[in-house]
Amino acid sequence: MSEIRNYDAEFCGNLPIHHINSIQDYGYLLVLDNKTLNIIQVSENLNLITGQAPAQMVNKHLSSFISSHDVENITKLINGKAKDRIPLSLAIENEGESLSFDGLIHIKSDYSLLEIEASLKDGQKSFSDVFQEVRQFISAMESVSTLDEVCKVAIKQLREVSGFDGVRMYQFDANWNGTVIAEEISGALESYLGQTFPASDVPRQARALYLKNPFRLIPNRNYKPVRLYPVINPLTNAFIDLSDCNLRGVASVHLEYMQNMNVSASMSIRVLREGKLWGLISCHHIGPNFPNVDMRYLFEWLSVEISNRIAAILNLEDYNQSASRLEKRTAITDFIYAKDDIIEGLLDDKNLNILSLFNAGGAVVKIGNRLEYLGDTPDKSEVYNLMLWLEGKGTEKVFSSSYLSEVYEEAKAYEQIGSGILVIPVDERSGDYVICFRPEVIREIKWGGDPEQVINFDKDGKNYHPRNSFKLWLQTVYGQSLPWNNNELEIAESLRNFIFEFRTKQLYN
């Protein structure tokens, strides 16, 4: 079928969700001038805990509402080295009564964002309550050794600790589509295990925010948005950037998305590998759910443990594959030396040749007037035309594609044996190449809903809505091979360098 439209790149990924300029109503927000500690913006619901209207609070010093001890602490934090997501306790005065709150401060160059929430302890597990569960959690993860096992254990343990109705692990692919690879659900939640959700469900600007915030909490999709007063930040003369804030408001389209999923509360936790977003752990609840601050810090910690464990397993797999491939590469180059011939060294050994090195189904090597074939390859005329195309591209470095017919239309004629290609240029001026082919791998993608209906625009073309259904929608993908991984490309580049040096020695000996 035709390629699915990429709404993540075309539309959803361009929405400025960090400038939404409102917060969720489970907390409060103060914006402070770093130089004076005067309040320059407030969330309009702050009157509930200060007893003063927003207009009365703006331009007052922070000490008008919190204790001198807290002001001193915040001053030290602003002048300190740590600048983001610093937790603190606050005592706010209201008509002679001191109320306790949890705070989180984010320090910018000119101003600071101070998030405030009521300290909710009753009826919820505290950090100490779940300490033994956490120990069991980490022990359980350390007892398994595969990615599948770790994800299943992590999701099962997280659901037990958190109490959410459902917890799922999503893994992103190269195009940022997310596939559910582990799931623990109960109640009326629908199973999405094995289903893939398009990249626009977590668009690129939302993914970028997960690099700043370890989690995203929406305890009640039916919350009433709270605006900021004044609307414009007086120091920047613009909407304030709420990227770092846990309280940041939610785009209406996402709330509608939650409604279509039949959930009222959600919490997403990042999974990182080498500083990049590898996946998300998504928690859902049928009704509203307000995990307290301690529980969220616990989740933040566990996301690090899960990320580290997943990274350790994947890095070990990569190392073992890399070591094996490097051993094969060394044996092949030794064989080239022994034969004193590049083509024979690459192709002649039945057990160890360029096909086994790159997990390829066929290979063609052209050097000078010699053209040799191994395994399943296109016809000679098709290979000749392919080489002319490569010459026209000016291929000077290793080139690869797992979807050759997308960039070279004539390759559709031999997709079954050559959907994927790896090209090692030996001498592009003479049209000398080492070319490996990978066969087509027909696969089915189980989409969570029709990916062509990711978003639906109103007749005016201005407003849009998410898809109504997440019912399984099958797509069969043709014309693509297994992808070439980074280590294979590195080995290919090193082999190119070796062949260049070997030919140079032959010419001068």
Query: Do 58 and 64 contact (CB within 8 A), yes or no?
Result: no
Q: Give tens-digit pLDDT for 259-282.
A: 999 999 999 999 999 999 999 999
Q: 321-355: per-residue pLDDT in tens?
A: 999 999 999 999 999 999 999 999 999 888 899 99
Q: Which residue has the higher pLDDT, 16 or 259?
A: 259
The residue-averaged pLDDT of 292-299 equals: 85
Please compute, for residue 324, the number of CA atoms within 13 A of its CA located in the half-sphere on the CB side: 11
pLDDT in tens, 373-398: 999 999 999 999 999 999 998 888 99
Task: Scan for tokens 């990924």, then name that residue.
Answer: 13
Q: Residues 332, 334, 339, 343: is their CA dihedral positive or negative?
A: positive
Mean pLDDT of 283-288: 96
State yes or no: pLDDT of 18 exceeds 60: no
| Helix or strand holding residue 475 (H, E) | strand 472-477
**Could you tell me the residue ranges of all domains in the chain?**
7-18+120-223+249-315, 20-118, 340-442+479-508
456 band by pLDDT with thresholds 50, 70 and 90: low
Q: What value does the mean pLDDT take over residues 252-257? A: 90
Average pLDDT over residues 87-104: 85
137: pLDDT strictly greater than 90: no
Q: Does residue 233 surpass a pLDDT of 80?
A: yes
469 CB contacts (<8 Å, ≥6 apart)?
A: 260, 449, 450
> What's the whole-model pTM score?
0.86
Distances (CA, A) of 505 to 341, 500, 508: 12, 9, 5
Instruction: Answer yes or no: CATH 3.90.550.10 is held by domain 20-118.
Output: no
Which two three-digit tokens encode residue 180? 């559910």
Residues 6 or more apart whose CB falls under 8 angstroms from that of 340 comprise 506
* DSSP H or E run through 304: helix 293-339
Mean per-residue pLDDT, 97-115: 91
Confidence of residue 121 (pLDDT cuts 50, 70, 90): low
Q: Label residue 63 by pLDDT band (50, 70, 90).
A: very high
Q: Is the pLDDT of residue 304 over 70?
A: yes
pLDDT score recorded for residue 5: 53
Specify the higher pLDDT residue, 6 or 295.
295
What's the gap between Cα 281 and its chain centre?
A: 11
Torsion-angle region of 394 (φ positive above 0: left; ψ -120 to 50: alpha; else: beta): left
What architecture is domain 7-18+120-223+249-315?
A: 2-Layer Sandwich (3.30)
Q: DSSP per residue over 403-461, as a string?
A: -HHHH-GGGGGGHHHHSEEEEEEEETTTTEEEEEEE----EEEEEES-GGGSEEE-TTS
DSSP 95: T
Spell out the long-range contacts of 323-327 with Cβ–Cβ below 8 A and sequence spacing 24 or more: 325/357, 325/487, 325/488, 325/491, 326/491
Give the pairing type, strands 226-229 and 39-43: antiparallel
End-to-end, the C-alpha distance of the chain in Å comes to 55
Q: Is the pLDDT of residue 11 over 60?
A: no
Residue 284 has pLDDT above 70, yes or no: yes
Lowest average pLDDT, out of 63-67, 220-224, 408-412, 449-453, goes to 449-453
Q: What is the CA radius of gyration of the chain?
A: 29
pLDDT tens sequence across 174-203: 999 999 999 999 878 999 999 999 998 998
pLDDT > 80? residue 463: no
Whether 340-442+479-508 and 7-18+120-223+249-315 are alike in CATH topology: the answer is yes
* Residue matched to tokens 């959700």: 197
- Provide the strand spans (E) within 75-233: 86-94, 97-107, 111-118, 166-172, 178-185, 196-197, 215-218, 226-229
- Determine which of 119-133, 392-406, 443-457 has the lowest per-residue pLDDT on average: 119-133
Considering the segment(s) 340-442+479-508 as one domain, its CATH architecture is 2-Layer Sandwich (3.30)
Report the DSSP beta bridge partners of residue 423. Answer: 399, 435
Q: Residue 194: its pLDDT value, please?
A: 95
More confident residue, 451 or 482: 482
Percent of the chain with pLDDT over 90: 67
Pick from 324, 357, 295, 375: nearest CA to 484: 357
